[in-house]
Structure 1
Amino acid sequence: MVSFRFDPVTLPASTLALRDEVRAFLAEELAAGRFTPHRNSWGTFDAEFSRRCGERGFIGMRWPQRYGGREASALDRHVVIEEMLAAGAPVGAHWIADRQSGNNILANGSEAARASILPRIAAGECYFAIGMSEPDSGSDLASVGMRATRTDGGWRLNGTKIWTSVAHRAHYLIALARTAPPGDDRRAGLTQFIVAIDAANGVTTRPIHNLYGAHEFNEVLFEDTFVPDDMIVGEIGAGWQMVTGELAFERSGPDRILSTFQLLRQLVARLAETADARSNVAVGRLVAHLVTLRQMSWSVAGMLERGASPELEASVVKDVGTAFEQEIPEIARLLVPEQASLTRGDLYGEALAQSVLSAPCFTIRGGTREILRGIIARGLGLR
């Protein structure tokens, strides 16, 4: 039976100094009134904030300097992301490109793709979406139906992707498409492509509005969309291996722990003068869970720094972390009998309203709970 463990990580002095640097930057942003913490999540889109992050070297941190990076460690990047999320910073514009797409291009893309795209991501001026999910596939990613057919100088893509966050604002997405029939192994014959989101090239985005009317998700249609050979990611037919490795970046970070952190902060502030034994126990339990999840997430960052591929550990962090994120608004509603509202101007009420409306998707995005537990069971040799 396979086992796993989350070894503790000790942060070097340089990483602790970087934490102070990020906090100072965020304090400047807050003092200038450039964002409102309790109204933000890691999906909040602010192009100018991303550009300022790029100027400070907070995007693409692990990448070589020739591509706009600062050749920092995985621990350095982790502390930047954690501070940004804890402060409620609007990091959504550069989020996907920095978290996974850029890393995928750096590891598996052509030199032409690296040279033309990575410096713009690092500058906070190039945004990505994820082209994995499809209308008829759900969480069964191996059943994707988008087709890529060979043509002169590249490939033609036809098909549809769905639940594609920020595709209406992104410059590119990395699309998973089938370049060969699946045969006995459905995971074979899949390839990743860097696709410019360009209506002139047969790409159409259609909005999908969420429960409170916001537009983050999209349906994206591809009709004979041309992708040149130098925008293939990795080897033809090796898309599945890259997708599973990419998901380790997507599933293990602080974003799977801190989505409702602003509500937790407001809850503690609201209870400061009226706390009783019941609320102290409930909040103390949430804080203890948060501390443990942080240690687990930091441990995965340490594994990534050592060059490991912690897909199993990342799945555990994502499963437990998103359950924790969903629990915070439920506990808050029990402890403070107050109506949630996005418009009343009350800090606690607004944070509660946003958390209640967004929490149902936490255990779906990035891999549903059921799929993750299947991955964990297989990784442990239980099935």
Structure 2
Amino acid sequence: MPPAVVDASATSATDALRAEVRAFLAEQLAAGSFTPSVDAWLTRWDENFTAALAARGWLGMTVPVEYGGHGRSFVERFVVTEELLAAGAPVAAHWVADRQIVPSLLKYGTEAQKSHFLPRIVRGECFFGIGMSEPDSGSDLASVRTRAERVEGGWSLSGTKVWTSGAHLAHAFIVLARTAPVDPTDRHAGLSQFIVDLRGTGGLDIRPIVSMNGDHHFNEVILDAAFVSDDMVFGEIGHGWQQVTSELSFERSGPERFLSTFVLLASAAENMAAQRLSYDVDLGRLVARVAGLHQMSAAVAGALQRHDRADIPAAVVKVLGTTTEGDIADFADRHAGGDSHHAELVSRAVDQRPGFTLRGGTNEVLRGVIARGWDCDDDRRSNRPGRPRSGRDDGRRLRRIPRHTFRGRGA
């Protein structure tokens, strides 16, 4: 969890940066630029706020200078994003682009794609969505049915994507599609990715998915022979699964996986201190869990900086973090009282709660990913082949976190 008090004169670069971001947020709050909200990184789209962040160099922080970026570290970016999330700031406009499109472009994009998109993302002028999930394919992405067929000069895409956040406002999204028939021996083969223009592509229909509380941030995107030119193939044809796995590490490991309800936790603490809520020691337990998740997520940021494998640690952060977010919502819902803003935060948290453990891969699926990943790690380190295991063996492995999983110092 961010330090409770930050000394602006601290010699640590990250402490100074954290203080700078907090000062900016205090100014924005005083000016009435935004109202802190639960799940603001997903539901609060504010392009003016995004522009203000870009003007301060807080978008595309890890983008190399030659692509218009700032060449800063993953840990520095972690500090900025953590503060924005803790404040419940409206960062949805740039969130997907900055979180996973930037590192994905740097890793898989062509020079032309990097030169075109990265400077615009850094300036807060280009917003992205993600086209992975489908009506019958959520966590099991290997079952996607969207097809990409070779045509003259490019590809023709047909299929349906759902739960695409911000598609009605974004400029482009990256679509996972099948470019070869399903291979029963390797369901993950034959998948590829494409960058699709959401504002100028023919054969594309964006339909709103309105939540029960009236919010509209999700969309259904229907592709009907939508043409994508060869220069918008993302990565390599047939390597879509490997690319998606890498991209999901960025999606699952970020501090938004445990700070979506932090503003509610802070409000509960303030109202409890003012005796507007009844005292409950569980508040301290939740604060301790968030503090531990801060250290774990910061360690993943360090691993990404070192280009270490981070998919399994990211999945652990996602499972534990989203569970904690839901527990914070449940805790606040059990305690009647508080001021009017607190009541609004509780209402939104309860509405959003079911999605915490679903998005980015369900926690049930990710527990299997974690179990398999740790088994593989153990087998590699011991230089012995895998062996059949009982359910009791798997349970024993799941109850411990290997020491190597989270390394490095927190931000």
TM-score, normalising length: structure 2: 0.86
Match in the other structure for 2:50: 50
Q: For 1:260 and 1:93, locate their aligned partners in 2 and report how far apart those are by CA, in whole Å.
A: 19
Unaligned runs of 5+ in 1: 1-10, 340-344
Paired residue secondary structure (1:218): strand
Q: For 2:71 and 2:161, locate their aligned partners in 1 and report how far apart those are by CA, in whole Å.
A: 34
Match in the other structure for 1:337: 336
Match in the other structure for 1:213: 214
Match in the other structure for 2:31: 32
Which amino acid in structure 2 is aligned with residue 25 of structure 1?
F
Q: For 2:39 and 2:285, locate their aligned partners in 1 and report how far apart those are by CA, in whole Å.
A: 24
Q: For 2:68 and 2:18, locate their aligned partners in 1 and report how far apart those are by CA, in whole Å.
A: 20
Match in the other structure for 1:4: none
Which amino acid in structure 1 is aligned with residue 366 of structure 2?
L
Structure 1 residues 366 and 199 mapped into 2: Cα distance closer, same or farther (>3 Å)? same
Paired residue secondary structure (1:177): strand
- What pairs with 1:26-175 in structure 2 (closer than 5 Å)? 26-38=25-37, 41-43=40-42, 44-175=44-175
Q: For 1:83 and 1:47, locate their aligned partners in 2 and report how far apart those are by CA, in whole Å.
A: 18
Paired residue secondary structure (1:201): coil
Contact map agreement 2:333 2:350 (CA 8 A) in 1: no
Structure 1 residues 186 and 12 mapped into 2: Cα distance closer, same or farther (>3 Å)? farther
> Comparing 39-48 with 63-72, which one deviates more in the overlay?
39-48
Which residue, 363, 380, 383 being the options, matches 2:374?
A: 380
Which residue, 346, 353, 375 being the options, matches 2:347?
A: 353
Q: For 1:355 and 1:365, locate their aligned partners in 2 and report how far apart those are by CA, in whole Å.
A: 15
> Comparing 147-156 with 125-134, which one deviates more in the overlay?
147-156
Q: For 1:54 and 1:74, locate their aligned partners in 2 and report how far apart those are by CA, in whole Å.
A: 17
Match in the other structure for 1:5: none
Q: For 1:78 and 1:273, locate their aligned partners in 2 and report how far apart those are by CA, in whole Å.
A: 32
Q: CA offset at residue 69 of structure 1?
A: 1.0
> Comparing 312-321 with 34-43, which one deviates more in the overlay?
34-43
Residue by residue over 1:291-327, the C-alpha shift from the partner in whole angstroms, topping out at 9 and shown as x without a partner, is: 1111110111111111112100000000010000000
Q: For 1:40 and 1:29, locate their aligned partners in 2 and report how far apart those are by CA, in whole Å.
A: 18
Paired residue secondary structure (2:173): strand
Q: What RMSD, in angstroms, separates the aligned Cα atoms of the two structures? A: 1.8
For these two proteins, the number of residue pairs brought into alignment is 366
Q: CA offset at residue 217 of structure 1?
A: 0.7
Percent identical:
52
Contact map agreement 1:113 1:231 (CA 8 A) in 2: yes
Match in the other structure for 1:14: 13
Residue by residue over 1:74-133, the C-alpha shift from the partner in whole angstroms, topping out at 9 and shown as x without a partner, is: 000000000111111100000000000122112111111111111111111111111000
Paired residue secondary structure (2:259): coil
Q: For 2:289 and 2:49, locate their aligned partners in 1 and report how far apart those are by CA, in whole Å.
A: 31
Which amino acid in structure 2 is aligned with residue 82 of structure 1?
E
Q: For 1:359 and 1:218, locate their aligned partners in 2 and report how far apart those are by CA, in whole Å.
A: 19
Unaligned runs of 5+ in 2: 1-9, 376-392, 395-411
Q: For 1:103 and 1:39, locate their aligned partners in 2 and report how far apart those are by CA, in whole Å.
A: 26
Which amino acid in structure 1 is aligned with residue 211 of structure 2?
N
Paired residue secondary structure (1:279): coil
Paired residue secondary structure (2:136): coil
Match in the other structure for 2:398: none
Structure 1 residues 354 and 116 mapped into 2: Cα distance closer, same or farther (>3 Å)? same
Structure 1 residues 256 and 196 mapped into 2: Cα distance closer, same or farther (>3 Å)? same
Q: For 1:270 and 1:118, locate their aligned partners in 2 and report how far apart those are by CA, in whole Å.
A: 43
Residue by residue over 1:22-63, the C-alpha shift from the partner in whole angstroms, topping out at 9 and shown as x without a partner, is: 122222212221111146611210011111111111111101
Paired residue secondary structure (1:194): strand
- What pairs with 1:276-291 in structure 2 (closer than 5 Å)? 279-291=279-291
Q: CA offset at residue 15 of structure 1?
A: 2.1
Q: For 2:262 and 2:209, locate their aligned partners in 1 and report how far apart those are by CA, in whole Å.
A: 26
- What pairs with 1:141-290 in structure 2 (closer than 5 Å)? 141-183=141-183, 184-198=185-199, 200-274=201-275, 279-290=279-290
Q: For 2:72 and 2:205, locate their aligned partners in 1 and report how far apart those are by CA, in whole Å.
A: 37
Q: CA offset at residue 379 of structure 1?
A: 0.8
Residue by residue over 1:300-359, the C-alpha shift from the partner in whole angstroms, topping out at 9 and shown as x without a partner, is: 11111111121000000000100000001211222x2249xxxxx811101101101001
